[in-house]
Amino acid sequence: MKDNFNEMFCPITGKKCRLDCAWLVDMTITNNVSGENKQEKRCAIFWLISLQVENNRLVLSNTQAIESFRNEMVKGQGYQEIIAESLVHFLKLALRGRQRNVQDKDDNVKDALSGR
């Protein structure tokens, strides 16, 4: 990256860059590694390309995070289905046991009434 404007050429006109150019944009850049901020003046066309690359990187990162979240939700849903099936199974067993107890009590009442 050149900081000397006399050595940089305009991508539109092909002439040397000028400080009074309308396409010259001053931006604050943050270094991702060190975290330090730096002021840079560059052509808007350069910034468009750089920002588009950075945007694509962030979109990919967000897409990966969403996919990971989705996978965890699917895994959690599988666990919920297993728990629900187990609960239904245990409830059926409990109801069968209760029905047997009621039937045994009915038989005892019938036996008592019939005098056995």
Q: Per-residue pLDDT tens for 27-56? A: 898 888 898 999 888 889 889 998 999 999
Alpha helices in 1-116 (DSSP H): 44-114
Q: Is the pLDDT of residue 19 over 90?
A: no
**pLDDT reported for residue 2:** 46
Cα separation, 77 vs 47, whole angstroms: 44
Answer whether 17's CB lies under 8 Å from 25's CB. Answer: no
Say if strands 24-30 and 37-43 run parallel, antiparallel, or are unpaired.
antiparallel
- pLDDT higher than 50, residue 1: no
Query: Is residue 37 exposed (0-12), middle (13-18) or buried (19+ Cβ within 10 Å)?
Result: exposed
pLDDT value for 96: 78
For residue 20, the SS3 value is coil
How does residue 97 score in pLDDT terms, banded at 50, 70 and 90?
confident
Domain coordinates in residue numbering, the chain: 5-114
- The pTM for the full model equals 0.51
CB under 8 Å, gap of 24 or more: what pairs does 51-55 form? none
